[in-house]
Amino acid sequence: MDNTVLRKEFLITKNNIESYYWAFFHSNGEIDITPTVLYAQMCDDPHKKKVWERSTRDKYAEIVGMFFRTMKLFGTSIQTLSSTETQGFMQAYYMKELPFQTKTGKPTSASRMEAVETVLVDLIDESVKFGFRELDNISFKYQEEYTSDIDPADFIYACYIPSELFEQLLKHLERKSEFERDRDELAMRFGYEIGVRTEELVRNNNWSMKKIKAARLKWKLGDEIEWKNLIGKGGGGGKSRDVMIKPDLVEKLFEHMDKHEEIYASSEHLYCQADGTLLGAKHGTNTFYNAKINFNNSELNFKSFQKLRHSYATNLTLWGIKYGLPTRLVQDRLGHSDASTTELYQEVAHLINGNVKLSEEIRMVRLDKRKNAQREKEKNNG
């Protein structure tokens, strides 16, 4: 089978406005109508026309072309594909195992994978609108594999978003209805200020209105709320954890509920559509990505909603250092079972504070411990 992505660019003038579109073809030269129609519809979206440069549309057309060619290799189509195929595509794309990718020896970057997921989520949404498939929760998860030359502290530092930059990012959330914008800002704050992951926003019972209203009855102004048994990743719900919702965030939460009382009167979940139905699992990811595109700030490269939790942990560590709190207290608040994980954030926090010497000292101790542990392991295995 010819593995070349067959696509062709067309310049179309309509109402004196020039637009670029891409048509996709089968290897025999016949037009592949499904991706052509869906991608044209995506490009016609007023928001995307505004923020997608021509080069961006070209790159995204390449992704769409790769996706449809891969679906053919899998023996499926947009009508019949499942999470098995989409996850398989994402994993192969990440590891650069697809026959049409350039092999460089390193996995695809996180920012590129984020773009791929966003485009494919939009593609699935358009396919539902056109009646190609029923609405369902397609998963685009893939397993990240970090190469040995990426130090975990460096990774955390690369993920960090200062509070000033985060507040600017919030100003670039998509302008939807007032409810949707307020809801999305609250979701972003939940990620940044208490480390909630995107899938944790919409897990059943995590943020049920019944639980929130019950907690509100016991809440006093200025108090935190301990939110127990937050369900995370995994088809079976994953490991549950507890989070502490800060007083100012609790106030924002209740203000949001009061402001949109009519919507929440019929909704069972905090993170819902305007009609009360539950949001998709990737809503947080898409919210962050669209705001990042609107903002167009290079400091947000490599950043995503999932990585907001690293900023939360770093900020909490900075707070602990500022007030001289014992490492154990910060560790308990972060929920780290191993103190060495907390020490990673301390290393990063000291670097952010400008205390490079102390940060390097912590790193040297950490690396020595790792070397000693490796020697001990080799000794026991030998």
Question: Are 336 and 249 members of one domain?
Answer: no
Low pLDDT (below 50) residues in the chain:
1-5, 14, 17-18, 148, 234-238
In a domain? residue 219: yes
In a domain? residue 156: no
Output DSSP code: residue 244: E
Element (H, E) at 207: none
- Secondary structure of residue 191 in the 3-state scheme: helix
Output DSSP code: residue 156: H
Q: Which of 112, 145, 178 is the last residue of a domain?
A: 145
Q: Whole-angstrom distance between the N-terminal and C-terminal Cα of the chain? A: 49
Q: Which of 145, 176, 199 is the last residue of a domain?
A: 145
Question: Are 18 and 122 members of one domain?
Answer: yes
Q: Which of 302, 331, 361 is the last residue of a domain?
A: 302
Per-residue model confidence as pLDDT tens digits over 222-276: 999 988 877 655 443 345 778 889 999 999 999 999 999 999 998 999 999 999 8
Question: Are 17 and 123 members of one domain?
Answer: yes
pTM comes to 0.64
Distance CA 173, CA 176 (A): 9
Question: Are 358 and 265 members of one domain?
Answer: no
In a domain? residue 153: no
Question: Are 80 and 141 members of one domain?
Answer: yes
Question: Are 121 and 204 members of one domain?
Answer: no
In a domain? residue 253: yes
pLDDT at residue number 209: 92
- What CATH number corresponds to the domain at position 188? 1.10.443.10
In a domain? residue 212: yes
pLDDT at residue number 9: 54
Question: Are 201 and 322 members of one domain?
Answer: no
Question: Are 227 and 204 members of one domain?
Answer: yes
Question: Are 105 and 169 members of one domain?
Answer: no
Question: Are 169 and 128 members of one domain?
Answer: no
In a domain? residue 157: no
| Residue 350 lies in domain | 311-381
**The total number of structural domains that make up the chain:** 3
In a domain? residue 271: yes
Distance CA 189, CA 194 (A): 8
Question: Are 291 and 330 members of one domain?
Answer: no
In a domain? residue 38: yes
Question: Are 297 and 346 members of one domain?
Answer: no
